Chain A
Amino acid sequence: MSKISRRRFMQISGSLVAAGAIPGAGLLTKSSFAAEPIKLGLLHSLTGTIAIAEAALVEAEKMAIDEINAAGGVLGRMIDPVVADGASDWPTFAEKTKQLLQRDKVAAIVGCYTSASRKAVLPVLKQSKGLLYYPTYYEGQEEDKHVIYTSQEATQSVISAIEWMAKQQGKTFFLVGSDYIYPRTCNKIAKPTVARLGGKVVGEEYAPLGHTEFSSIINKIKAAKPDWIYSTVVGGSNVAFYKQLKAAGLDGGKQKLLSTVVSENEIDGIGKENAVGYYACMGYFQSIKSPENEKFVKAIKAKYGQDRVVGDPMECAYNSVYLWKMAVEKAKSFDVDKVTAASSGIEFSAPEGKVTVHKTNHHVSKKVRIGRARADGQFDIVHESGVIEPNPFPKL
């Protein structure tokens, strides 16, 4: 019948507390020093009408994340992608952004494709102090401190494209676009550029989004006989436009056409035989010859199948993840303000060559290229610009 003395009691309970505390202490150490993954949001439309263009971007982003993780992660932590579906619906984009930032606590988001979805997300980014990497070419006219724009804005592609076209034979231009902000802004930039180069705009036409009947516009083109068609027709309309141009006898052999929205991905749907001979102006083409690009294309094909083609937005999506990673490493922190500040001036050797985040305006300096579509759906690069500084608010 031994009575437990007070001292003995203290000893036992003390050691129990200590024993309990040790695993706790272990956990504490682990969470603060070892690699708990850091979350990165990937927000694109996987369903709905815009999924046509956006679904492939997620694949490119995931590939970049896998590569970074295989090389040891970022600041010693693995990246854990959190994929959210914006469902081609702008309020859903805003709602998912809120979820990503507040519930999932992602460090940054790579996402959006249409300008409408980006605009919907801006207030949420501001409210919850988020950071968005926007990987699509777009019309410019925006500079938000919560967004890094990693593709070419309109002046970067449109001005170089028009300058190049004007150097070729003929200086009359016919502008065709879908009826929304991107084509209208591009043409607003194109018109003074054409005038400056001594050319002439002989027609400007807009078709409603999703329009599939281009016969009247094609007749207007035939009547105006332009040297160049500059096209900003997007989406499914593009397929109809190219098919009907060809049927009307204005194929790539007879009529020169340049688009700033048709990448290899679009040609897949348009049909290679309908796009042969037409030009496109992009920052990236799959046919770029460089060790970085060959490695990139090979990796995409190995991961997603030999038939996959890579277009400009996919490459910019891939770059976005790296630009974020480099900014985090430069800032030595995942804090949004610090990462944003560190982003300025960051250089990445992308598959398309060097891209540099601008010192102040959150866009990137990059080269653009002009390619001519081949029978196999790839582009022959016929022109490469110098490095072009971004200028989202051009004086026109």
Chain B
Amino acid sequence: MTFRRGNQAPRRKAVIPAAISIEETFVTFGIFVMQLFNGLSLFTILLLMALGLAIVFGLMGVINMAHGEIMAMGAYTTYLTASFIEHHLPGLMGVYLFIAILLAFAVTFAFGYVLERGFIRWFYHRPLDTLLATWGLSLILQQTYRSVFGAQEVSVPLTTWLSGAWEPTETIQLPLNRIFIVALTILVTLGVWYILHKTRWGLRARAVTQNRAMSSAVGIDTNRVDALIFALGSGLAGIAGSVFTMVGSTNPGTGQLYIVDSFIVVVFGGVASLLGTAASSFLIAQMQTALEYLMSGSMAKVAILLLVITVLYFRPNGLFASKVRA
């Protein structure tokens, strides 16, 4: 250590304590906690968004470009439910969201079932055609929303008990709607895991994905399984769309905002792996929120995409590549 440096030290000391007062420390700590929570919240949002796609794309190998529009269908179902309840059963406004989530699931589940039977199944083993056909479908759906609901955004009212924030200390505010999304996502993910790994239907579904011919030979109705998997994936998209009305916007193009992120999460995590989807959502979300805080939003996106490209270069099957014959 040179004499010069030693000489400078006291000057710095004088500056630092003045800059960081106790209050400042609390604010910084508060921001840190809120940033961690944001990462957690974004994680659950990405997971919820990608879950349906992970099932459809992961288990069936169907590239469904209309996945985002199915989410929008969930969002519009929520909007319709809210408007209906607001006008006819105002007493139920407090719990309308639960009704809307169930309805969104039911509507998109049914839509998914019909879609698979009437449309998707004719495109199996033709991945490029599926891509084009579902993209076309997404355009048709978008334009339908535009014709039915108008090109403008629709506003979905937020339930009163979900607006506002939980404030454990003065400097930390955690938005209640995000806490709700975190809880719901955990519930839904556990539900999906249970269905796929603990029920007979899940066993059949996994069997069909692993070896279709053999499953068929032992008497599994593979067509029915296909339709139900697709319907389940769509239903999950519907739930996601319904929940996102709380944080995002609802317009005919809403689905487009989510589709790219969903695909990135699923591909990055490794197709056919729920754990991979969860891990990749977690990683992307934490990185995104941290980088967004340190740099700008656009730069954060660039950094994430670079990371995804690099990882996929070395691990083409994603983080958690499962050894399943697709």
Binds A, one of B30-38, B84-92, B306-314: B30-38
- Residue B189 interfacial (CB < 8 Å): no
Question: Which B212-250 residues have C-beta < 8 A from chain A?
Answer: 244, 246-250
Asked whether B253 lies within 8 Å of A236 as measured between CB atoms, the reply is: yes
Cα–Cα distance between A332 and B130 once the two chains are bound (Å): 58
Contact flag A265-B152 (CB < 8 Å), given A51-B146, A207-B297: yes
- Residue A217 interfacial (CB < 8 Å): yes
Binds A, one of B98-106, B194-202, B288-296: B288-296
Binds A, one of B14-22, B172-180, B203-211, B263-271: B172-180
Asked whether B247 lies within 8 Å of A244 as measured between CB atoms, the reply is: yes
Quick one: closest B residue to A240, CB to CB? Answer: B248
Partner of B153, one of A47, A216, A270: A270
Interface string of A41-66 (1 = CB under 8 A from B): 00000111101101110000000000
Asked whether A216 lies within 8 Å of B253 as measured between CB atoms, the reply is: no
- Interfacial chain A residues near B28, Cβ < 8 Å: 223
- Residue A253 interfacial (CB < 8 Å): no
Quick one: closest B residue to A213, CB to CB? Answer: B42
Cα–Cα distance between A272 and B157 once the two chains are bound (Å): 9
Contact flag A52-B155 (CB < 8 Å), given A208-B298, A247-B177: no
Asked whether A212 lies within 8 Å of B257 as measured between CB atoms, the reply is: yes
Asked whether A210 lies within 8 Å of B257 as measured between CB atoms, the reply is: yes
Interface string of B67-84 (1 = CB under 8 A from A): 000000000000000000
Quick one: closest A residue to B147, CB to CB? Answer: A47
Partner of A219, one of B38, B152, B153, B296: B38
- Interfacial chain B residues near A220, Cβ < 8 Å: 293
Cα–Cα distance between A212 and B150 once the two chains are bound (Å): 21
Asked whether B155 lies within 8 Å of A222 as measured between CB atoms, the reply is: no
- Interfacial chain A residues near B150, Cβ < 8 Å: 55
Overall SS of chain A's interface: helix
Asked whether B41 lies within 8 Å of A215 as measured between CB atoms, the reply is: yes
Asked whether B297 lies within 8 Å of A247 as measured between CB atoms, the reply is: no
- Residue A77 interfacial (CB < 8 Å): no
Partner of A47, one of B27, B143, B296: B143
User: Size band of the A side of the interface?
Assistant: 35 or more
Cα–Cα distance between A110 and B247 once the two chains are bound (Å): 36
Cα–Cα distance between A249 and B164 once the two chains are bound (Å): 6
Contact flag A269-B152 (CB < 8 Å), given A212-B247, A222-B34, A223-B27: yes
Asked whether B301 lies within 8 Å of A208 as measured between CB atoms, the reply is: yes
Count A/B pairs, Cβ under 8 Å: 137
Cα–Cα distance between A273 and B93 once the two chains are bound (Å): 15
Contact flag A206-B253 (CB < 8 Å), given A243-B247, A244-B175, A268-B153: no
- Interfacial chain B residues near A236, Cβ < 8 Å: 153, 248-249, 251, 253-254, 257
- Residue A179 interfacial (CB < 8 Å): yes
- Residue B141 interfacial (CB < 8 Å): no
- Residue B158 interfacial (CB < 8 Å): yes
- Residue B256 interfacial (CB < 8 Å): yes
- Interfacial chain A residues near B257, Cβ < 8 Å: 210, 212, 236
Asked whether B153 lies within 8 Å of A239 as measured between CB atoms, the reply is: yes
Partner of B253, one of A49, A56, A205: A49
Contact flag A216-B297 (CB < 8 Å), given A52-B151, A271-B156: yes
- Residue A238 interfacial (CB < 8 Å): yes
The 9 A-B residue pairs with the shortest CB-CB distance in the complex, in nearest-first order: A269-B153, A239-B249, A247-B175, A271-B155, A216-B292, A51-B151, A236-B249, A215-B38, A212-B248
B241 CB, min distance to chain A CBs, angstroms: 12
Question: Which A156-178 residues have C-beta < 8 A from chain B?
Answer: none
B159 CB, min distance to chain A CBs, angstroms: 11
Quick one: closest B residue to A268, CB to CB? Answer: B152
Cα–Cα distance between A249 and B157 once the two chains are bound (Å): 17
Partner of A211, one of B31, B45, B146, B297: B297
- Interfacial chain B residues near A268, Cβ < 8 Å: 152-153, 155
- Interfacial chain A residues near B167, Cβ < 8 Å: 249
Interface string of A208-240 (1 = CB under 8 A from B): 101111011101101100000000000111111
